[in-house]
Structure 1
Amino acid sequence: MEKMFNVGKIVNTHGLMGEVRVISRTDFAEERYQKGSKLYLFRKEATTPEELIIKSHRKHKNFDLLTFEGFTNINQVENMKEGLLKVKESELGELEENAFYYHEIIGCAVYTTDGTLIGKITEILSPGANDVWVVKPEKGKEIYLPYIEDVVKEVDPAESRVVIELVEGLLD
């Protein structure tokens, strides 16, 4: 089976017309959730994915609200709760230079420009103007790296390696 990547998690239903609330795990929500796009639902207890076609998408607070073709009421989507929405690797598309998919970054080892290992990237946050990469060192608390030119100097997903410039206050 082709490799698949998580783009969201269904956390609840919304209203009575078959809409679901999704916590998005993609930085390409507009592309992933556009009408006619294909996603694969991995229900909590199921062993095989279910193909879904997006009928509608809108934003509401911190959620993406989706409806799927063939699902028109709450009773049909109630059992989708806790399900993961995924996309096939072949459907990812090309990125511009210095842009990366989350799955390419999460798990990368982070080194300083002098070669010191800082830790591994465990999560990516998208709070505003730039992403923030969460780095877990072997000891101590998490470090929050802003994905900006002044800090991130080199990203090599093939080698699972990121090189950063330590700026004042970054490790405090």
Structure 2
Amino acid sequence: MEQFLQVGVISSTHGIRGEVKVFPTTDDPARFKKLKKVLLDTGKERLKLEIQSVKFFKQFVIVKFRGIDNINDIEKYKGKSLMVPREDAVQLEEDEYYIADLIGMEVYTDGGRFGTLKDVMETGANEVYIIDSDEHGEVLVPAIHDCILDVDVEKQTMKIRLMDGLI
């Protein structure tokens, strides 16, 4: 399991005083109001940043970090991820999973190994699991109870039932 979970990606700067536009990768962008700190994944290291202020603009979260007061100090981090430790992540409901925990899972049907879950597509109604199958190529499976029979995060396995017409 991943120790850190992504909550957003810095998409661009906002103004000249060090604010950034963050594209939220969390189900609840309002959670940024409750966050005190995040980890900026630079690719080489994780920098601990304290959140000074948060506001919202269209689909973005505008974030100001304490101690970063100039556009030049933050501009180099465009495209970089903002992470939180797992213990600071939003608590999940029953049958909910962090996407980071699902990616890479081995997927099985009654017939045996089917493939590997390679991505999760978020749609309006429900999520769709993108499974890379050795036999069928890329298969899209809706994340609904009729299709997803069991998920074991510890063992990194998922059991599915394929609906007619999926493959």
TM-score range (shorter-chain normalised) is 0.7 to 0.9
Aligned residue among 157, 160, 166 for 1:164 = 160
The size of the alignment, in residue pairs, is 166
Does the CA contact (< 8 Å) of 1:43 and 1:82 recur in 2? no
Query: Cα offset for 1:5?
Result: 2.4
2: distance between equivalents of 1:125 and 1:64? Answer: 21
Aligned residue among 92, 98, 111 for 1:101 = 98
2: distance between equivalents of 1:140 and 1:65? Answer: 42
1: distance between equivalents of 2:63 and 2:55? Answer: 5
Q: Structure 1: where are the runs of 5+ without partners?
A: none
In the TM superposition, what are the counterparts of 1:7-156 in structure 2 within 5 Å? Answer: 7-31=7-31, 33-44=32-43, 46-53=44-51, 55-61=53-59, 63-112=60-109, 114-138=110-134, 140-156=136-152
3-state SS, counterpart of residue 7 of structure 1? strand
**Counterpart AA for 1:100:** Y
2: distance between equivalents of 1:150 and 1:56? Answer: 40
Query: Cα offset for 1:89?
Result: 2.1
**Counterpart AA for 1:126:** E
Q: Structure 2: where are the runs of 5+ without partners?
A: none
Q: % of aligned pairs identical?
A: 32
CA pair 58-51 structure 1, distance change in 2 beyond 3 A: same
Aligned structure 1 segments of 4 or more residues deviating by more than 6 angstroms: none
Query: Cα offset for 1:85?
Result: 0.9
RMSD of aligned C-alpha atoms?
2.5
TM-score (norm 1): 0.80
CA pair 30-118 structure 1, distance change in 2 beyond 3 A: farther
3-state SS, counterpart of residue 73 of structure 2? helix
CA pair 75-35 structure 1, distance change in 2 beyond 3 A: farther
Between Structure 1 and Structure 2, which shows a larger proportion of strand residues? 2
Does the CA contact (< 8 Å) of 1:24 and 1:64 recur in 2? yes
Query: Cα offset for 1:17?
Result: 4.2
CA pair 122-157 structure 1, distance change in 2 beyond 3 A: same
Partner of 1:6: 6
Query: Cα offset for 1:109?
Result: 1.2
